[in-house]
Chains A and B, each alone.
Chain A
Amino acid sequence: MPTITIDNQRVTVPEGTNVLEAAKKLGIVIPHFCYHEALGAVGACRLCAMTFLEGSDKGPKLKGVHMSCMVTARDGMVVSTLDEESADLRRHVIEWLMMNHPHDCPVCDEGGECQLQDMTVAGGHGIRRYRGLKKTYVNQDLGPFISHEMNRCIQCYRCVRTYQDYCGGTDFGVLGCNQRIYFGRFRDGTLQSPFSGNIVDACPTGVFTDRTYRFRARPWDLEEAPSVCPHCSLGCAVIPGARYRELQRVRAGVNAKTNGFFICDQGRFGYGHANRPDRPRSPRLGEREVSWPEALGALRRELEIIIAEHGSQAVAFLGSSRASLESNAQLLELARFFGSENFALEIDPERDRAARTTAALLGECARSQEEVRRSDFVLLVGADPLNEGPMMALAVRQAVRAGGSAALIDPRPVELPFAATHLPLSPQNLPEVLKALAEERFERFSARERTVLAGISARIKEAKRPVLIGGGNLLGSSGAQLLIEAARAFSRGDRACGAALLLAGPNSFGSALLAAQSPGPDRLLAQMQEGRIRALLCLESDPFADHPEPGRARMALSRLKLLAALDYLPTETARRCDIFLPTTAPAESAGTYVNFEGRMLPFGSVFDPGVPIQITGGGDHPPRSFEAHTPGSLPRPAWAALAALRGDSLSLAHIRRNLQRSDARFAGLAELEEGGEGRRVNGAGQMPGHGPELPKHPSAEGALRLVVTECLFGSETIASFSPVLDPVRPAPVVRLHVEDGVRLGIHDGEKVRLRTELGDLAVEVRLCEAMAPGIVVLPRLRQGEWEIFVPGVHRDCILQKEGG
C-alpha cells in the first residue's frame, strides 16, 4: 500500500490506485472528463494535470507535469495540484475545450448538473477570448429515450466507451477524425442497446439528455432519494427524481456490490407507472370511494365475520415479490393476528418454489454482480440475462472483457452482449445436464454435446473464480437445487465455485425467506376452489394475471366471498376486488428489497403520493382552486396499511427493529443506510414441498413444447404499466428452430395459428438456428391476448398453417 503526499497531505491507497483517485480520497477534486471509475483512464482530455515534485523511491523518477489519471501512485511520490504550472495548463485546456461549446446553458437540460460547467469554474476559466465561429453539427434522432445535441460535445469519448466498451452496443459510435469528430449512429434511429440511457449519465455535458424528461425540471427542483430498482431481482441502485407530484426520471445510483455505475433502460425508463391517470388512489368498497377508516373498518369486519362463520383458516393472505420485505412481513403479522396459516408470498407456484429453494440452499455460494464482474468463467444455464436481469448480462460482459470466458446452456436463442459458447438443449434436459456436470458423466449426451460439456467442465475446474448462473423461470425449483449442488460439487478447498439465480421480482428472495411456513399458492388455490378459503387479501399481487393457469385461478377467485387488494397499479385484481386499499409506488415510500443474492437493500422515499399537477392542471398551469388536501394523496405504504388493519401504527424503523429482533437472519437491517451497499442476510430459508413432476415429452403427436420466456420491456409488471416504454415494446413473434420450420413447412416471417389448451393465437414465426428443436419460444407480453402465457410452465402447443 503506497503512501504518497499530495499538497502536503499524506494518503495511503491500495496498490494500483491512480494519483487522481488518491487526491480524491483527500478531498482534492481536480477537473477531469475522460477518466471514469468504471471506464478507466485514457489520458485524453488533458485536464487532470498535476505537478510531480518527487517521483517514487523505486522505479523510474517521474517529475514535472503529468496527467494524474495515468500515473499509478507509488510510495514516496510528492505531488502538487496547486503548482502554477499545472494550474495554468488546466486553465488553458479548459479554455480550449470550451472554445466551440455553445453558451446555451439556460435552455440546456444538463444545466445544474453539468460537469463541464463545474469543471470550467474549477479549472479557472471565466472570460472567453475566442471570437471566431463555432463548429456546428446536425443532430440525429436517437429514438424515444435520448436527445442529441452535438454542438455541446467536448470529445471526451465517455459515451462511446460506455455504449460500446462497457455495454457492448454496436450501433452507436464515433465518426470522423480530429476536427470532424461526431458521436452518433450510421443513420437516424432508435439506439438498439438496452443500456442506451447510460450515455445520459456518462456524458459530462448536455450532448445526450433524457428525452422523456426534456424541459421538465431543473435538477435542483427535483426531489431525489437513493432507491433500489423495482423491475427485476438484481437490486441495482437508482436515484428517481420527482417534481410536481410526478416521477419524472430515474438515473443510475452507485453501488459497488450491485450495479456499479450503470443501469438498464427498463430501470431508467420504467417509471411511468407512478403517474398514470388511471392509477387507483382511493380506498374503495366495491365501486364506492371511501375514507381510510371506513375501508379499514369494513375490511376488518368482513374478515372477522368470515372467521366467525368458517374459522380462521378461511381467510388467506397473498403477498408478492414486488412488495417490500417490510410489507410482506406485515402481511404475515396480519395472518398471525387473525390466526390464519394460509398465506403465500408469490402467486406463481413454480416461481414460489424456485425462490424458496434458492433462499434455502444458496448460502455461501451466493455471488453478487460485483463478484460476477470479477469472475473468470461464467456458465449460464437456462438463464437469459438480458431479459431476466439485464445488468447481469453486463456483469458477465465485464468478466469476459477482463479475460474471462462464458458458456451458455439454454434451449432458447439467447442474445448476449459478449461472446459465449452456446449449447442449445431442450428444457427438460437442463436438470439432467446439471446433474451430469456435477458428476462428470456425459455418456447420455450426443458426441457433439459431450465435447462441449467436457470443455465446460474443464473450464470450470481450471477457473479460479467460476460462477454458475441459472434462471429461476426455466430451471424451476429442482433445477435451482441442481445448479447450487453443481456449484458445490465444483468447489474445492482452495477455491469455491459460486452460483446465482435470476428470480422473478425485486424481493423474491426476501419473500422466500419469510415464506418458510407457507403452504404455497397451489394449496391456497385448491382450498379456494373447495370453498374452504372464503376471503383473500392480496398485497401488490395480481392473481388474475400472474397465475400460470389463468382459468383455474379465475375459477378459484370467483368462489371467494371477499377479495381484497392493496396495490398501486390498476391491475385486474385491483379493478375487480371487493375492497381496495391504495398503496404507495416504490418511489413514494421507504422499504427494503432482498435481491437475488440475499442482499438486503433499503430504499428511501423520493416524494409523497398525489395526482401529478400535470394532470390536475390539465397540462397547463396548476389549478387555482385551493383545498386543504392534496388530490390523490391517499395511498399509504402497504406496511402502514397492514399494520393499521391490526389497529397498530408502526414506523418503518419500528417494523425493521421488530423484524431483526424476531428473526436473526435480518440482523443489521435497522442499521442499514439507504443508498449503501446493503448487507447479505444472515441465514437461509426453508425448502418448499415438492412440486408436480414435469412432463417429459409432449403428450400429443406432432406437438411442440411451448417455452414462455420473459422479455425486456414487455414482461415485467411495473414496467408494463409505464407508458414511457410503449415505443419499445417487443414485437409479438414466436421463434422456432429452422428444422422444425422445414418439417412443418413454415417459413420465416409467416403468420400461423398457435394452438394450446389455453386457446388459440395468431402468431408470426421467426426461424432460428441457435436454439433447441422441438420447442416454440413465446415472449411473455402483458396487457393483451398473449398475457395468459406465463413463463415457467411447460405446456404443449401445435403450430398450424393458416387455412391448413
Chain B
Amino acid sequence: MAEVLLTEDQLDHFRVRAAEIAHPRELVIDVLRAIQSNFGWVPDEGVELTGEILRLSPLQVEEVATFYDKIFRQPVGKRVIHVCDSVCCWSRGAEEIYAHLQKTLGISPGGTTSDGVFTLLPTCCLGACGEAPAVMIGLTTYGDLTPERLDEILERERAALEE
C-alpha cells in the first residue's frame, strides 16, 4: 500500500472535476475511496485533504465518511470481512458463520488478525439475501456459506494476498 493519500494525478483529476461541477460535494465518496485504496484506510489528514479539494469543512466530509461502514476511519487489515447481520442471513445460519470466523481467526468483531491480514466487521444487508448467509471480503461477496466453504475462501484470500 502506498504511503500517499492521493497521487499527483489523482489530486489533479479531483481538483479539475471539483471545479467543473456545480456541487463538488457529490465527489466525497469518490475521493475518500481513492484515499482508502491508496492508504488502506482514511486518516484525519485524508478527511482534511478531501475537504480542501472539494471546498468543504472537515466536518462536512466526516459526516459522510462516518456514515458509511465501508469507509474506514481506523487502520484495518489488508482484507476486511463484512459479515451480514441482517434478517435473511440470521435465519440461514449467519451466527454460526460469525462464530466460526471469530474462532478461526482468533479475533472478536472489530478486531484485526495479528498478521494484519483480516479485520472482522458486522454489516447491514449485503443485498445477497438469495444466497444467505453471506459475507463480503474486500470487494468480493461470497454466499451460501458453510464453515467448510468459509475455510477454503479464507485460504484463497490469504494466498491471493501473498502473490
Task: Give me the interface of A with B, judged by CB distance under 8 Å.
Answer: 170-177, 180, 182, 185-187
Contact = CB atoms under 8 A, between A and B. Distances in A.
Interface stretch (B5-13, B56-64, B109-117): B56-64
Contacts of B146: none
B110 to A, nearest CB: 12
10 contacts: A170-B59, A171-B57, A172-B59, A173-B60, A174-B63, A176-B66, A176-B67, A177-B69, A186-B59, A187-B58
A330 B58 CA distance: 54
B47 interface: yes
Contacts of B67: 175-177
Contacts of B69: 177
A182 B47 CA distance: 17
Interface of B: 44, 47, 56-60, 62-63, 66-69
Contacts of B57: 170-171, 186
Nearest to A177: B67
A175 B60 contact: no
Considering residues A174, A175, A185, which has the most beta carbons from chain B within 10 angstroms of its beta carbon? A175
Considering residues B47, B56, B63, which has the most beta carbons from chain A within 10 angstroms of its beta carbon? B63
B17 to A, nearest CB: 21
B22 to A, nearest CB: 12
B47 A186 contact: yes
Contact of A173 (B44, B47, B63): B63
Closest CB pairs A-B (n = 6): A186-B58, A170-B57, A186-B59, A175-B66, A177-B67, A176-B66
Contacts of A170: 56-57, 59-60
Contacts of A171: 57, 59
**Dominant secondary structure of chain B at its interface with chain A:** helix
A539 B56 CA distance: 48
Contacts of B56: 170
A174 B66 CA distance: 9
Contacts of A186: 44, 47, 57-59, 62
Contacts of A180: 66
A170 B60 CA distance: 7
Nearest to B51: A186
A185 B66 CA distance: 12
A140 to B, nearest CB: 11
Given A176-B67, A177-B68, A177-B69, 7 more contacts: A170-B57, A170-B59, A171-B59, A173-B63, A174-B63, A176-B66, A180-B66
A739 B115 CA distance: 57
A173 B66 contact: no
Contacts of B66: 175-177, 180, 182
A772 B109 CA distance: 58
A186 B48 CA distance: 10
Contacts of A175: 62-63, 66-67
B58 to A, nearest CB: 4
Nearest to A178: B124
A172 B57 CA distance: 10
A176 to B, nearest CB: 5
A638 to B, nearest CB: 45
Nearest to B57: A170
Contacts of B44: 186-187
A175 B68 CA distance: 10
Considering residues A173, A175, A186, which has the most beta carbons from chain B within 10 angstroms of its beta carbon? A186
B3 to A, nearest CB: 23
A173 B47 CA distance: 15
A315 B47 CA distance: 66
A172 B62 CA distance: 10
A551 B59 CA distance: 48
Contact of B59 (A176, A177, A185): A185
A175 B60 CA distance: 9
Nearest to A180: B66
A524 to B, nearest CB: 50
A180 B63 CA distance: 12
Contacts of A173: 59-60, 62-63
Contacts of A174: 63
Nearest to A185: B59
Contacts of A176: 66-67
